[in-house]
């Protein structure tokens, strides 16, 4: 049974077609996604249901693009909907869709263990879900690009440098090297410290890493890391299955 997932961000939309628990095809599109949506349907057929996470388009605008799915089979992730995990967050109405989806995806992938999700995107989002399926919350800090931009924006003389593929040496021997070391080695040490502190408090905690910058940092952490690039999509699919009954 084919199901569709749409993750609509401010600039890009991720589309994924699932057949049971497997991603048949996924795409990331900048701007309008109508043509890509039409192409996916032509190839894979009309989905039986769809889950949408949107921070950009209104529900009405999305429904106008997805008239081929029955209204009762078109779901929008929002605060208060049924979830496969129990949310213990004190302000669930402020909780980002991606954090909810990541936690549900972690619970689906690794239900027998405590899971700390590290999502390396615009921000670094840490989210913790227990082996009992309880979502506690986590923390948010600036991501890689944001750290580079902040140093340049909020100082008078420090220049802006774009991230590069390599992790810089610990000791920078130029202004560029010092900035790169501070930004990237600082991120590494932050992640190591957060992982260590969670494992001090919660036994049998596994680490699941996702987000656009995961490939750069996953291998740098000595702690065993489970990499799940499509964790958000998997979590949205799990939420869809939980409600589409």
Q: Which residues does the annotation mark as catalytic?
A: 98
Closest by alpha carbon to 78, among 243, 230, 211, 212? Answer: 243
CB neighbours (10 Å) of residue 155?
9
Q: Are strands 114-120 and 205-210 parallel, antiparallel or unpaired?
A: parallel
DSSP structure string for 131-167: TTSEEEEEEEEE-HHHHHHHHHHTSSSPPP----SSP
- Residue 80 and residue 222: Cα distance in Å, rounded? 38
Closest by alpha carbon to 95, among 127, 130, 142, 129? Answer: 127
- Residue 47 and residue 205: Cα distance in Å, rounded? 36
Identify the three-state secondary structure at position 78. Answer: coil
| Order of strands across the sheet that contains 2-8 | 22-30, 12-19, 2-8, 49-54, 74-76
**What residue spans of 8-71 are helical by DSSP H?**
34-44, 59-65
Identify the three-state secondary structure at position 203. Answer: coil
Closest by alpha carbon to 223, among 178, 193, 184? Answer: 193
């Amino acid at each position: 049974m084919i199901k569709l997932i749409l993750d609509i961000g401010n600039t890009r939309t991720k589309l994924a077609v699932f057949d049971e628990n497997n991603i048949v095809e996924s795409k990331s599109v900048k701007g309008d996604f109508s043509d890509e949506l039409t192409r996916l349907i032509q190839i894979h057929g009309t989905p039986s249901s769809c889950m949408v996470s949107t921070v950009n388009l209104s529900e009405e605008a999305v429904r106008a693009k997805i008239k081929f799915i029955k209204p009762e089979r078109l779901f929008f992730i929002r605060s208060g909907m049924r979830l496969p995990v129990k949310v213990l967050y004190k302000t669930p109405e402020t909780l980002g869709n991606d954090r909810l989806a990541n936690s549900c995806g972690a619970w689906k992938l690794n239900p027998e263990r405590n899971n700390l999700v590290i999502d390396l995107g615009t921000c670094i989002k840490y989210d913790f879900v227990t082996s009992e399926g309880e979502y506690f919350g986590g923390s948010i800090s600036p991501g890689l690009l944001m750290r580079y931009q902040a140093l340049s924006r909020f100082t008078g003389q420090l220049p802006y440098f774009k991230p590069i593929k390599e992790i810089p040496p610990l000791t920078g021997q130029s202004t560029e090297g010092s900035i790169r070391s501070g930004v990237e080695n600082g991120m590494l040490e932050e992640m190591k410290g957060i992982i260590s502190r969670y494992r001090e408090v919660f036994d049998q905690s596994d680490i699941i890493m996702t987000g656009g910058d995961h490939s750069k940092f996953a291998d740098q952490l000595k702690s065993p890391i489970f990499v799940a690039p499509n964790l958000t999509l998997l979590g949205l699919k799990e939420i869809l299955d939980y409600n589409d009954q």
